[in-house]
Amino acid sequence: MHHQICQDILGGFESYIEQFQMYTRLAPIHFKNRDWNGMQYIARSRMRLYKDIVKKTAEIIISESESLRHDHGTWISVKEAFRHCISDRKDKEIVETFYNSVCRKVLPNIAVSESIMFVQEGFDSCPIYDASHLFHHYPASMSLEQIIRQMMDDFAFDIPFIDKEADIQHLIETVKKVILSRYLPNEATQTQLFKSVFYRNKAAYLIGRTFLGGKWFPFIIPILHNEKGLFVDTLIFDPKIMGTIFSYTRSYFLVEVEIPSQFIAFLKAVLPYKDIHELYNAIGYNKHGKTELYRDFLNHLRQSTDQFEVAAGIKGMVMTVFTLPSYNMVFKLIKDNFDPPKTVTRAEVKKSYKLVSLHDRVGRMADTHEFEYFKLPRERFTDELIAELRTTTPSTVEITDREVIFQHLYTERRMIPLNIFLEEADTEEALAAVEEYGLSIKQLAAANIFPGDMLTKNFGVTRQRRVVFYDYDEIVFLTDCNFRFKPKAETFEQIYAPSPWYEIAPNDVFPEDFERFMIGREDLKSHFKQAHGDLFDPAYWQGIQKRILEGELVHAYPYPESIRFYPDRKV
């Protein structure tokens, strides 16, 4: 029985990995053909794979023995047998996560259990594999121009460049300006560039690093493809911008990976400020990213003493949110009852969060992880938070003397709520934030997302001072909205009517009303209106709808327009 269960799980995992890699290998084909709808399709399909195959694998195991749904003792033995089955695999950390997912699917309503799951890594560590074959190597004996030209040849993409020579000169000049103006090459200088290309939306990213002046300088080269051919869009050395490209607010890359831990180790060397779980997320292994996040959280919990508390900001009508001050994360629970005027259901809220997980987040929506039967120590909770949980989520939270057990919750990166940021920021910071606020709404709209409730309390400010939307209970596709001009009152009865005298459908939206609530600070309103006044015009929204319905996919650049080599070129 133990052997059969192990083989069932491994068979499911092999099916998952085979299809995962199949979708990933389609990315360069879609990039070459400029099939952007196809690119989004494979990204979504790859995201759906995991849950579907875990469910199918669990059903196979249950069909072989229904008793396994309640036989925890058998699963203790299965875990040990499975550990031996995967001991020689090079992707064992990903397999462990898959095992945990199947185990939780078979055993109903089970909390994390060290005895039957791989809560901590099942092996001391993943072996360190030689990574030299992962990248192109350009030694000190090559000149800057030779290196750049060789890079361009190494990544031909089988697509003609619009002006390859101009791209080469832009790259050379940027290196001279940003790096060689401060450091001189010597015999130790070398450059490494990933052979694997990172595809996302309409861009292909080359990622590498140069050793100069006794330290490594990571860099990213975005390459775009429009109707005239390929072109290098920019060269990025700024760690903050690179962090934005790999941000939790963006969709996952499609990139070929042979050994995940090996790839992550080298990627971590290139992007040292990124956490391991973020890097696993970034390359599409988001379920294992969730595992790494959970392990990191457990380690932090053991090493800290502060208490969980109600999160700062205006309390939500749909979600109860709490946090641990020393850890950069919030926990979000769906309330038992929603405050008026909210009319959505629990199922609709879950559907909205699922929509966000599958959609292109364009750098403006925070990634979330969903947990079930999540246990935390009771002693770490403030009395205020316990009271809040008993009031707002009693049906989904069990509170004992030792533990607090959550049937269902979401985790999300903690940010400063925009309304609080605007209250505390000086004028210069606040002006930049309201510009970001409007831009985030516009970029979401271009991605066919309408936030619904656009109050500043539903947006957060990241450490990079980017404004990100994080409250998804009213999110809908922009194309499902009906943006209307408000009818003009013509009679006395209409002018003084206590409620709208005209019919309003559930999907009607009146942008003219946005001006009343979007910005509270008087010294910022005029600036926001000047920068983003078109948000109050129904014609603006109708124009975006038209472009989307005509099949246009707007590319959201994850770096400033000001650093683009060809700002007028579109894709």
> pLDDT tens-digit profile of 470-504?
999 889 999 999 999 988 887 878 877 888 888 88
pTM exceeds cut of 0.95:
no
pLDDT tens string 72-84: 888 899 999 999 9
pLDDT at position 113, please? 83
What average pLDDT score do residues 294-310 get?
96
Give the Cα separation of 220 and 218 in Å (integer). Answer: 7
pLDDT at position 523, please? 85
pLDDT at position 122, please? 64
What average pLDDT score do residues 260-268 get?
89
pLDDT at position 124, please? 56
CA nearest to 518, candidates 500, 536, 530? 536
What does the domain layout of the chain look like in residue ranges? 2-106, 132-284, 304-414, 418-536
Predicted confidence (pLDDT) at residue 566 exceeds the cutoff of 70: yes
The residue written with tokens 């246990």 in the block is: 375
Are 14 and 57 a contacting pair, CB within 8 Å? no
pLDDT tens string 427-465: 999 999 999 999 999 999 999 999 988 999 999 999 889
CA nearest to 153, candidates 141, 139, 138? 138
The residue written with tokens 């009517």 in the block is: 497
Predicted confidence (pLDDT) at residue 278 exceeds the cutoff of 90: yes
pLDDT tens string 521-553: 888 999 999 999 999 999 999 999 999 999 888
pLDDT tens string 4-32: 999 999 999 999 999 999 999 999 999 99
pLDDT at position 51, please? 96
- Identity of the amino acid at 178: V
- Tell me which residues are annotated as active site: 367
Count Cα neighbours of 365 within 13 Å in the Cβ-side half-sphere: 31
pLDDT at position 453, please? 85
pLDDT band at residue 319 under the 50/70/90 scheme: very high
Q: What stretches of 248-382 show up as alpha helix (H) in DSSP?
A: 260-270, 276-282, 286-303, 346-358
Spell out the residues 6+ positions from residue 77 whose beta carbon is closer than 8 angstroms to its own: 2
Give the Cα separation of 200 and 284 in Å (integer). Answer: 11
pLDDT at position 270, please? 85
pLDDT band at residue 127 under the 50/70/90 scheme: low
Rounded percentage of the chain residues whose pLDDT exceeds 90: 77
pLDDT at position 134, please? 87
pLDDT at position 126, please? 62
pLDDT at position 34, please? 96
Lowest mean pLDDT among 67-76, 341-350, 393-402: 67-76
Q: What stretches of 321-411 show up as alpha helix (H) in DSSP?
A: 346-358, 383-392
Are 320 and 393 a contacting pair, CB within 8 Å? yes
Average pLDDT over the chain, rounded to an integer: 92
Sign of CA dihedral 525, 530, 532, 533: positive
Kindly list the distances between the CA atom of residue 33 and the CA atoms of 30, 162, 225, 386, 528, in Å, as whole numbers in the listed order.
5, 16, 9, 55, 40
* CATH 1.10.510 assigned to 418-536: yes
pLDDT at position 518, please? 87
Predicted confidence (pLDDT) at residue 200 exceeds the cutoff of 70: yes
Joined tokens for residue 31: 């990039």
SS3 131: coil
pLDDT tens string 50-106: 999 999 999 999 998 888 787 888 889 999 999 999 999 999 999 999 999 999 999
What average pLDDT score do residues 170-194 get?
94
pLDDT band at residue 121 under the 50/70/90 scheme: confident
